Chain A
Amino acid sequence: MKVLARLAAGVSAAACLAAAAHAQDVSDGVVKVGILTDMSGTYSDLAGPGAVTAAEMAVADFGGKVLGMPIEIVSADHQNKADIAANTAREWGDNEKVDAFAELVTTSTALAVYEIANQQHKIALVSGAASSPLTNDKCIPTGVHYTYNTTALANGTAKAVVAEGGDTWFFITADYAFGQALEADTTKVVEAAGGQVLGSVKHPFPNQDFSSFVLQAQASGAKVIGLANAGADTTNAIKAAKEFGLIQGGQQIAALLMFITDVNALGLDTAQGIQLTTGFYWDMNDETRAWSQKFFDKTGKMPTMVQAGVYSSLMHYFQAIEAAGTDETDAVMAKMREMPINDFFATNGKIRTDGRMVHDMYLVQVKTPEESKGPWDYYKIIRTIPGDEAYGTLDESTCPTK
């Protein structure tokens, strides 16, 4: 595959030269990206309408055209259901001239769309889904896992927690592909660091009342309660843990996946002190602030890493089309892997042949209400985790087509 990729890169470089003169090699006369996301459910704040806005911003910032042909965005609500996601993707690919699928929050829907993208030989740019199998056993040659994954979350948060002495763990895990992947990846990190996993409980997704699971975690006697879930499940679990005196009892919560919208929803009173791993924070430098302010002006919220990742992944996709001189899948994929990603989102980001986009991650701590200067001023960056440390090496990937 590596040889093939290099070959394709060479071919597309040649195509690029040819296309510089006549920019015409765009199928159907339009480059169309389909955003499949959760528009109204539990993940709609961290992805959803904000992700669509980010995609539209990318098109506008790119000038609305690539190789002289218009760029279009279509979007649909997959309701976190794999069958809806697969049917929409199939319909888009077959009849609506969609060239790439993007966003794809919720692992089960991302996996379903991977299947379709592979059959139709189209590109899938995953930002919202987290599970590491997307670039391991379940990888596809045309898939890119862009923003973060469960391996990086485990390497970021779990490693730091174990290093501080949190060496016995109990998991509260969302009972679907994502939760299981996050628990498995974290278990590996904890055990490798000399820690021990005492047990886990799997809760239905979504779940409202976590008191029962918190009580089981309490009874386990573990020093650290790892929350392998996301969105409202995480915030509700944290609230229940505080209410039932888990913290006063000396146990610690590790929220393995938390978005800035979750912190915003919980409020700093409850969320302060939590350590988490993120691929992006709006308030890191002038570039991140400038882009995030534009996003804020349109949506009234600061972007999550997922939304910023959608923008960055689409820009990279458009640039690759331009560089390849065509929107043909293999040529564009080769270019995307060849070109480093340098923008407000990533520095020297690189897409590997297993589909993983490797970039630096950040271990952050939620500020106290006193430290925060106002709305959305939520994180202190404790440590920048180099991309290779966060995601592991390509050799470790079990992707069969890498």
Chain B
Amino acid sequence: MFADIFGFPPQVLFGQLLLGLINGAFYAVLSLGLAVIFGLLNIVNFAHGALYMLGAFVAYFLLTYGGIGYWGALILAPIIVGAFGALIERFLLRRLSGVDHLYGLLLTFGLALILEGTFVKFFGASGKPYPTPAGLQGGVNLGFMFLPWYRGWVVVASLVVCLATWLLFERTKIGAYLRAGTENPKLLQAFGVNVPFLTTLAYGFGVGLAAFAGVLAAPITQVGPLMGSNLIIIVFAVVVIGGMGSIVGAVVTGLAMGVIEGLTKVFWPEASATVIFFVMAIVLVLRPAGLFGKTA
């Protein structure tokens, strides 16, 4: 057998690395949505965790009341929640476009509290069960750990979505418009591009990513009103470490932080909730704009 590494059998470490990657995939998708929204709208979207929760609940509603299963929900929930996000942008956030960041932060934070409070009121804090889709039950023994098929699928689906988002922003015309909109919205408008519509679309897209992560999480955790509130703070730390608004930064940092957190759960489990903030503090001291951020 292998020799122990730092007193732990290697199969334990490999397992934790893989689990860290799986959790990192969630952080990546969530922080990607935040990065898109911050990059294009300059809004610190504190409602992101609540919208992630909403995605999971929409999947639950679709199953319970509409008979639509996991795969349908994976497509429909992001669209439904994304449309809800577009409404938020059109009727609430847009009114704050000229003012300080702080107002957008307060508004979205308020929205998050309202959403979570409403769901606690009607569905209770302990949440609802959501079954693992039939085709992805069970798992495979990798030798060093038992990998549930569903967790494997989460990593694949997340990476595909992250890659697709990157391609959309860096390699398509609409992506070019969006990037131009952040640089100089007035000039872009002068070229006849409907900038307000683009902005709404971008917010809806970012929110849709949160909902997608919510559906991915539904079979793993309970579908509960508070599922986003713990996660959102970590995801913000990830975005800050990666550099606010950086798409590549969000994805790479998300995965890396998942792994760091996973290893902490072995070496010092009690600190696993704080290790990411520790990293954040160090990064902010050494590189205030984040690892992938452009210095202003």
Contact = CB atoms under 8 A, between A and B. Distances in A.
Nearest to B147: A244
Interface in A40-62: 40-46, 48
A199 B142 CA distance: 25
A204 B273 contact: yes
Interface in A213-245: 213, 215-216, 218-219, 231-232, 235-236, 239-240, 243-245
Nearest to A299: B124
B289 interface: no
B12 A201 contact: no
Contacts of A202: 269-270
Given A207-B273, A239-B221, A244-B139, A212 B126 contact: no
Contacts of A45: 124-126
Contacts of A262: 126
A319 interface: no
A214 to B, nearest CB: 9
Given A44-B120, A202-B269, A261 B129 contact: no
Contacts of B139: 243-245
A239 B130 CA distance: 11
A265 B269 contact: no
A211 interface: yes
A236 B221 contact: yes
Of A203, A239, A243, chain B has the most CB atoms within 10 Å of the CB of A243
Interface in B117-156: 117, 120, 124-129, 131-132, 139, 145-146, 148, 150-151
A392 interface: no
Contacts of A372: none
Nearest to B272: A204
Interface stretch (B82-90, B169-177, B186-194, B222-230): B222-230
Given A235-B222, A244-B139, A245-B148, A265 B12 contact: no
B19 A232 contact: no
A216 B12 contact: yes
Given A215-B145, A243-B148, A232 B129 contact: no
A109 B273 CA distance: 21
Given A40-B120, A239-B220, A264 B126 contact: yes
A48 B116 CA distance: 16
Contacts of A245: 139, 146, 148
A243 B226 contact: no
A211 B224 contact: no
Contacts of B19: 209, 211-212, 215
Contacts of A250: none
Nearest to A301: B124
Interface string B217-241: 0001110101100110000000000
A44 B117 CA distance: 12
Interface in A188-214: 201-204, 206-209, 211-213
Given A208-B230, A236-B221, A265-B222, A244 B16 contact: no
B266 interface: yes
Given A209-B221, A232-B222, A243-B148, A43 B125 contact: yes
B69 interface: no
Given A204-B272, A219-B12, A269 B129 contact: yes
B18 to A, nearest CB: 9
B126 A236 contact: no
A254 B213 CA distance: 31
Contact of A215 (B16, B126, B224): B16
A20 B120 CA distance: 46
Contacts of A270: 129
A266 interface: yes
B226 A232 contact: yes
A172 to B, nearest CB: 10
B9 interface: yes
B125 to A, nearest CB: 4
Contact of B126 (A208, A218, A265): A265
Nearest to A206: B230
Given A42-B126, A175-B270, A219-B15, 5 more contacts: A204-B273, A215-B15, A219-B12, A245-B148, A269-B129
Interface of A: 40-46, 48, 175, 201-204, 206-209, 211-213, 215-216, 218-219, 231-232, 235-236, 239-240, 243-245, 249, 261-262, 264-267, 269-270, 301
6 contacts: A40-B117, A175-B270, A203-B269, A208-B227, A218-B146, A265-B126
Interface of B: 9, 11-12, 15-16, 19-20, 22-23, 116-117, 120, 124-129, 131-132, 139, 145-146, 148, 150-151, 220-222, 224, 226-227, 230-231, 262, 265-266, 269-270, 272-274
